[in-house]
Amino acid sequence: MSTVETDIQQAVEDAAAHLYVWALKDIPQDLRDALADAAERETSVPGQRVLQTILRNVQVAEDEQNLVCQDTGIAVYYCKVGEHFPLHPARIYQALYDGTVRATLDHPLRSNTVHTLTRENTGPNVGYRVPIVHWDFVPDWDGLDVKCVPKGSGSENMSFLKMCVPADGVKGIKQFVLESIVGAGGKPCPPGIVGVGIGGSADYAMHLAKEAIARPVGSRNEDPLVAQLEEELTGLLNETGIGPMGLGGDITVLHCHVEHADTHMTLNPVAVNYQCWAARRASAHIRADGSTEFDREA
């Protein structure tokens, strides 16, 4: 943790620049613990070797001050803005954009962003509507929380949506999650975090699935019914035998996180967003005076 004091837009830009690189290099303790726990439980020979290699890689990244994974991802930020925070979200967006550019050029980081039709690179991990920023607004508060989640493409490509019907019930939800993860096989770098979004609408279900992967690893939904579904799905997914990197084994996922929203009586949407084992995230808590506390575990 460290403290930075400067003017407020600069403070947000500095936070973004720091968070992007920090998230890529230093994975959270909850994730390290989950990976070490997986290595203890895995019984297959290749699965065991994969997990030992992953743990060694996390250590090498730390020793060499290098990135855990070369895929610097697409820059995603989650912002919680207090109603009295003294910088408008339009300016916060600009600060996140500028911070992403600075991190990419200074490190340097690989630039991944391309025009979606021409496939031409659009700049230092920024472009039209990139970085992607999600907003939450908090009454009676003057702070800003920023969580940076650089999202790798190997896992993002393993995203799935199904508009189940009400008659499919909870069974339909479970079945779709299981089929998605078996179909994904080794492609999204298992064992990772399976984010599931249920309810809401088609777009909101996927938004919730993405929010689910950004939670602390192994955290449980506050709603006991949803938490029970998380436990059950985690167990069932680990019965599939896909295993670490899809080479077969006991540990296919570290955890399944579920986020939900109430929905229309005729809707039963279920979205799956996968997060690879290198589930990078890092947060900053920025106060109204611009002082910043960095937080790896939020």
CA torsion 28-30-32-33 (nearest 10°) is: 160
Among 66, 219, 228, 291, binds another protein (CB under 8 A): 66
Could you tell me which stretch among 138-146, 198-206, 253-261, 270-278 binds another protein (CB under 8 A)? Answer: 270-278
For residue 89 the two structure tokens come to 């979200």
Tell me: does residue 50 bind another protein (CB under 8 A): yes
Ramachandran category for residue 176: left, alpha or beta (phi over 0 → left; psi -120 to 50 → alpha): alpha
Cβ-based nearer residue to another protein, 227 or 247: 247
Dihedral over Cα of 27, 158, 161, 236: its sign: negative
For residue 297 the two structure tokens come to 């575990």
Among 77, 78, 277, 294, binds another protein (CB under 8 A): 277
By CB under 8 A, the residues from 186 to 225 that bind another protein are 186-189
Show the site string, 226-265: x = touches another protein by CB under 8 A, - = not. Answer: ----------x--xxxxx-xxxx-----------------
Q: Which residues contact 10 (CB under 8 A, 6 or more apart)?
A: 95, 290
Measured in whole angstroms, the distance separating CA 210 from the mean position of its chain's CA atoms is 6
Provide the binding-site residues for another protein, judged by CB under 8 A: 45-46, 49-50, 53-54, 56-58, 60-61, 64, 66-72, 107-111, 119, 121, 152-154, 157, 171, 174-175, 178-179, 182, 185-189, 236, 239-243, 245-248, 276-278
